[in-house]
Structures are given as C-alpha cells and as structure tokens.
Chains A and B, each alone.
Chain A
Amino acid sequence: MSGWFMEARSRLALLALVLLANVLVAPGFLELRLVDGRLFGGIIDILNRGAPVMLLAVGMAPVIATRGIDLSVGAVMAIAGAVAAATVNAGHAWPVAVMAALGTGLACGLWNGVLVTIFRMQPIVATLILMVAGRGIAQMITEGRVLTFTDDGLAGVSSASLLGLPLPVLIALAAAIITGLLVRATALGLFIEAVGTSPRAARLAGVPAPGILIGVYVWSGLMAALAGLIAAADIRGADANNAGLWLELDAILAVVIGGTSLYGGRFSIGLSVLGALILQGMRTCILRSGLPPELNLLLMALVIALVLVVQSPACQPAIARLTARLTRKGTA
C-alpha cells in the first residue's frame, strides 16, 4: 500500500505543478462560478474535457497490464457515436441509442479479445485492424458526412449536469470507481497482473488466462463507447473522421504516466486517471497561454519525455538516493 501512495504522491505533485502553471497563465483559473445550477471554472473545464481520455485510460490500463495494447479505442469511439446518432435519427428514443452504442463497444472489444486470445495475434496488430477498419465502418454508418441529430436526450450526455457537475465528469468518475472496485475488490487485478507479468506461470497456477484476456479488451471497448457517446453528444453529431482521432495515443500515455509498464504487470486505475488529468491540464495550459498552437504538440512531447525519463530504470536509483536524503533531512 505504501508503494501506491508513493507513486500517487509524485503524480499528484505533477498535477499540482500543471495546475499552478495554469494559474500563472490565467489568474482566474481556480475560480468556480455557479450558473444555472452548474459549476464553471478552470478545474471543471479540465475534468470535463478530460473525461473521454479518462474513460479510455480506465479501459486501457488493464489491457496494458496484460502486456497488450488497444489501438482501436479512437475508432471505436467513432463507431459508437455513429451508431448512437443513426439510432436516434431512425426515430428511436435516446436510451435505445445509448444502449446500442454501448453494445457496439462491447462487440468491438469482443472482436479484439478473440483475435488476441483465440487467434494469438499480437495485440498491436490485432487492434490495428479495428483502428483502421473502424473509421471505415463509422463512415459507412454516417454515409461519409457529419451525422447531426437534434435529440436533446442524447445531447444531454454531454450538456446535462448533476449536483453541479457536468455529466461527462460524473460518467468518467463513476467508470473509474466501478472499474477500480471490479479489479481490486475481486481477484481480477491479481489475475491480470499475473497474466501480464508471467503468462506461463499464471497458466500453471490455474489462472483462467483466456477469460481474463478477452475480458480486458471487452471492457476497453465499453469504455471507448462511453467516450464516443460523450464526443458525439458534445457536437450533437457523429463525425466519423475526427471523433476520437489519435485519442488512443493520449490514453496510452495517460496509463504510462500512471506508472504502468508497457511490458505488463502492475497497474493502477486511479493513477491512470491522474495521468489523463495531467495530460488535459497541460493541454489546457498551453491553449490558454496564447503560445502559437504549433508549439502545443512540441511542449507536450517535451514534458512527457521528461516524465518518462524521470520514471525510467536508469534514473530511479538517483531519485531514490535524493528522496532518501530529503526524508533524512526532514526527520532530522
């Protein structure tokens, strides 16, 4: 447990740094205003805009922990959004559209899981198939245009609020809490980490590896569908070309910043969510700073490289020495 808090502390410190940078570029950043029963402000903005990547990271973390990866989540967002839009436009009620989109996400995840588990494809290749084909499928559903809708219920997925918080934030937090409980209140987390660290040892110990593997991809598909619903509701339309574009990379980065190794093993849902918030905080900061937009990607890349270098095995001994010295001074 203490290990988790140590890791969480460094992530929280990073997030605090990012928020501080936001305050420096926009002095009113921390202000919260209540308008029509809904909170507005810089923090809420980061949570709200970060919700899709938070959801993707929540789904991605268990996948990466099994030594896998899911490149298709951006495309699954596009498909789910398209399915939802097409369903309400066909005259169905919005709950039907939501269920249809979530069902589509589950099916996409099952496809990935079966390719990886039954057909033993490398995860990066197996999910690349849906990453490429998924946008095509979404375009077929939208017939190549932005499929707009007017259904207020479906749009509410993005615009509604509860207890002053935007619905996307609540959805992302609920998904994170449910996933966290699902893996830690049961033995799933242990099995996922065992399969990811040493598949052969896990199998010989009786861990039901195939079920675990399919399960993590199905869950990732479900989380991607939720993110896709939010993205579509946000613009009241399904944009097959741009919905969720490149977000799979943000999700992978968020998980890695959260301390999960791409070689599988230990993972944390909470730290992955923190990773997503750190990314969104940086993005917001750069946008508000008024720096030329072409600098955004470069700065993000630099910061991320820095974070990962600090986390790398090559740097860890030096950091451990530094921490030890600091704590000794602190106690003395």
Chain B
Amino acid sequence: MTEPAATLLSARGLTRTYPGVRALDGVDLTLRAGEIHALLGENGAGKSTLINLLTGAQPIEAGSIHLDGREVRPRSPADAAASGIVAVYQEITLLPNLSVAENIYLGREPTRFGLVDRARMRREAAILLSRFGLSIDPAQPLSAFSTAVQQLIAIARAVDMSARVLILDEPTASLDSAEVAVLFRLMRELAASGMAVLFVTHFLDQVYEVTHRITVLRGGKLVGERKTAALPRLDLVAMMLGKLPSGDNHLQRHAAREPGAPFVTVKDLGKRHLVAPFSAGIRRGEVLGVAGLLGSGRTETALLLFGAERADAGEIIVDGAAVTLRGPRDAIRLGFGFCPEDRKLDGIVPDLSIRENIVLALQARLGWVRRLPLARQRELADTYIKLLNIRTPDAEKPIQLLSGGNQQKALLARWLATKPRLLILDEPTRGIDVGAHAEIILLLEKLRDEGMALYVISSEVEEVAAYADRVMVMRERRQAGMLTGEEVTPSAIIDAIVTPVDMPPPGRAA
C-alpha cells in the first residue's frame, strides 16, 4: 500500500443535534486522495449522521466541509453528488424494475432531439460496466442480478457521476467472500485513480484487509484517526468500546455477594442463521453482562431468550423446569421483560401517552377484559415517573415528545410495573444524555440488589465490567467466552472479543 498523498476532503467540527441528544458533536474527518478510509463505531456512534451531513441528506448545524480546498455545503444528495461526494448504501437505492442502463443514467439520461437516446444509453452503460469488469447486458432489469452485481452497478453509477469521494455504507453485509474480493479489487482501483473511498463496515477483518486509515466514532464524538497498519486490533476494539487507557479500575467494581438461587438456565440455545448455540445461567440478584461488537449475535441471544425469535435448538430452564417460548407472551408469563435496542421502532408506541406506554405490558398480561381502572393507571404512571425521575409535566403527554433518556426510563417503567423476575436489556444506555445514563446504571444496580435477575447487553465495556457479575462474550454469532468474578475486567472483555474463535461462523461454510 502506497502512502496516500494530498488531503481531498476535510470536515471540521461537524455537529448535529436531535431533540434531547447530540448525534454528532464536533467531529473531524480527513480523507486523502488515493486512500481507503474506514469509518468505525457501534450503533449510535454517529456514523450514519456523519454520512448524512457529508451527502447533504441532513443540514449541517455547525462545522464545515472542504473538498479540494473549496468549502462545500451540500443541501441535498444531488447537490453533494454534483460536487463529487456520492454514497452507496447497503440497501441498494436503485430501482429494481428498471434496466441496468436506465438505473445508471437515471436523472441524467443522454438525449437526442429531446428524447431519451436508449441505444446510446445502453452502449455507454456497457462500456462503463466493462471498466468495472462486468460483462452484463445493460438492457436487463436490475432485479435480474445478484446483490453483489447490483452493488457494483450502484458504484459504477456513482463513479460515472464524477465522484471524488465515494462513501460505501456496509457494502459487504450481504456479499459472499468471492464477491467481497471483487468489490475490494474495485475499491483499490478507484483509490489508485485518485479517489477517496470511505468504507463503513462492522467487519474488522475487512478493515485490516483493505483500508489505509481508520476513523473511530463513539457516542457522537471523534475518538481518533489512526493508520490501519499501526493500530493493533485490541486497541481498535478498545477505541470502539470506550475502554479508557488509564487501566481497569476506573469504575468501582461492586463488592462480591453471595450468589442467589439459580433462576434461568440456558442450555445450547440457538437458531440456524441467527446465532450458534450458547449456554448461560442467570441467578437472582445477579447481572449477566453480554459483550460483543455490532453483528456479533449479542442482540440475537436476547431475542431467543425472550421468545421474540423461536429457537430451533437447546432449552431454557426456569426454576428447574424446562419451558418452551412460542412468543414474547410466553416469556412475559414467566416473569421476563425486554427493553429492545431500537427504542423508537421496537420499544415505544409513539402516539400513545406516557401513562399508556407504562401500563401496556402489565395490561397485556392481565388481558383485554380486566382493564386497569384509569385511576390505577394514573397511580402507576405517577409512581414510576417519580421513582425513575422521568422529566415530564404530566403522564398524558405523548411519549414521543420525551428525550431518549426519558423514553428509556418509561420503557423500564413499563416492565417494572409487571414486577419482572428477569429483565433483559439491550443497550439500555445508548443514545441518551449523561444524566439519564448515570440514573439508569444506578437503577440497574438497585434492581440487582433487590434480587432481580438482569441480562444486560452493552457495548460500554467499562460499565459492564463495573456492574456485571459475569460477562458472556459474543463473537461472529457464537459464544466466545464467559468471564466470571475477578476475570471481569474491560481488558479481559476486549481480549475475548478480539481473540478469534477456531470454528467458522454458522450459516456460512459447510
């Protein structure tokens, strides 16, 4: 790999705020001509927001973008494309029912006497595609080709629109290894021709295979930019997961306690193409932490444990008896509760009031006939609003008007109202403000001390190491380790995340 030369794109201090949360906070990004640059970070780190600002999909609140030394301020993706910044997304944003040629020249068709010159369009498309090593008939509909080919066509379109900066958002997520190799060769050729390629992915192997430099974001802030060759994988994961360089005793680890009675035991629970069989035991009064990178299968373990996905292998034993979960209702009947990772889509019911959101799970468990009287609903809502310090003038406000942190507290209240025995939390502190963050951690510790069993998925390793009794580490959709007692340190967690497992990931080879 040759050392890339001059700076092509320079973004400084990019900032973007959503109600209640700063999605991007003064982030810098430098792309040099001829380089492939990885943009890394967990969900909610600000990657998508950064791309949206670069491509003009969202307006810039503060900060600047310079391309070739000239300031650009894209007002729309079309505007950004005109100045040379184009993004290609994981979900192909082309039109499957149109022909390949029509897709490539959509919105800028070659015309003859004011009419679209189809023959010329097909001819030029064929020439363009052959440059990308694709010998396909441009008259065929796009849907006739595999995802990989569609991806290449999308890139061809972007390059033909005289892109200088090509942003690839998770381009390899649905490609097999041969297709990935083709894509990487193309990326290298494009970089060699003087473009800059910004490569967003969660596959670290691919980052080390193809990129020159890495920019890491976390919680909307820039963690740092490094040369790929000079950044050990361990350090990279530490940057992504926010382990502090100061050592392992940054947060006070809670005192060891007598282990409670075993409550839920998971034995070889798994589902093909979702997550390989994993085993874990959760005791009352204990936090089982689950660590792993994005796409490691950490969320999938929760979906199986809550019955949101049906397992096809293994068993769940509750209080000594094997149970079958046909859906979330079965899990709720056993006293399980689940706060999902995607709060907006899977958690809150936006139109309904805070009160209705809080009583929803309890009411669902009581059934439709035994409606909680309004007075009782108000009482429950007010109790939890006070207990969890949910900042709202009253319980009748639509929940969507609350900030992220307060929404999360309301979701916790929804489950606490059902008096759960096991609470499953997927990234309970993601994307919420600092104050609410600390309050939620304190609450989890309080619930644990009161004897509740907690299953907490988190990418905040420092935090997990502080409050978890044991930590299950996931990697490549399988269990990569279980840390207990004194082993639970941020360094050990990151070690386990990085150390390769000797088996192939499920659903791929053999």
Contact = CB atoms under 8 A, between A and B. Distances in A.
Judge: A and B partners, yes or no: yes
Interface of A: 185-188, 190-191, 193-194, 197-198, 200-208, 212, 265-266
Contact of A190 (B338, B345, B360): B360
Given A193-B356, A194-B360, 19 more contacts: A186-B368, A187-B372, A193-B351, A193-B352, A197-B350, A198-B350, A201-B345, A201-B347, A202-B349, A202-B360, A203-B308, A204-B338, A206-B328, A206-B361, A206-B365, A207-B360, A208-B364, A265-B351, A266-B351
B363 interface: yes
B375 to A, nearest CB: 13
A203 B345 CA distance: 12
Contacts of B352: 190, 193-194, 197
A198 B348 contact: yes
Top 3 closest pairs, chain A to chain B, by CB: A206-B364, A206-B332, A265-B351
Contacts of A190: 352, 356, 359-360, 363, 371
Contacts of B365: 206
Nearest to A183: B368
Contacts of A204: 306, 308, 328, 338, 340, 346-347
Interface of B: 306, 308, 327-329, 332, 338, 340, 345-352, 356, 359-361, 363-372, 414
Nearest to A215: B368
B333 to A, nearest CB: 8
A208 B332 CA distance: 12
Nearest to A3: B396
Contacts, number: 79
A194 B350 CA distance: 9
A268 to B, nearest CB: 13
Contacts of A202: 349, 360
Which of A188, A191, A205 has the most C-beta atoms of chain B within 10 angstroms of its own C-beta?
A205
A207 B364 contact: yes
Nearest to B333: A206
25 contacts: A185-B371, A186-B369, A187-B364, A187-B368, A187-B369, A190-B356, A190-B363, A191-B364, A193-B351, A194-B349, A194-B352, A197-B350, A197-B351, A198-B348, A200-B345, A201-B346, A201-B348, A201-B349, A202-B349, A204-B328, A204-B338, A204-B346, A205-B360, A206-B329, A206-B332
Nearest to B366: A187
Nearest to B339: A204
Contacts of B350: 197-198
Contacts of A198: 345-346, 348-350
A129 to B, nearest CB: 25
Contacts of A203: 308, 327-328
Contact of A188 (B345, B368, B372): B368
Contacts of B414: 205
A191 B361 contact: no
Which of B346, B349, B361, B372 has the most C-beta atoms of chain A within 10 angstroms of its own C-beta?
B349
A193 B368 contact: no
Contacts of A194: 349, 352, 356, 360
Contact of A187 (B328, B329, B363): B363
Contacts of A185: 371
Contact of A186 (B328, B346, B349, B371): B371
A65 to B, nearest CB: 10
A202 B350 CA distance: 11
A266 to B, nearest CB: 6
A198 B363 CA distance: 16
Contacts of A212: 368
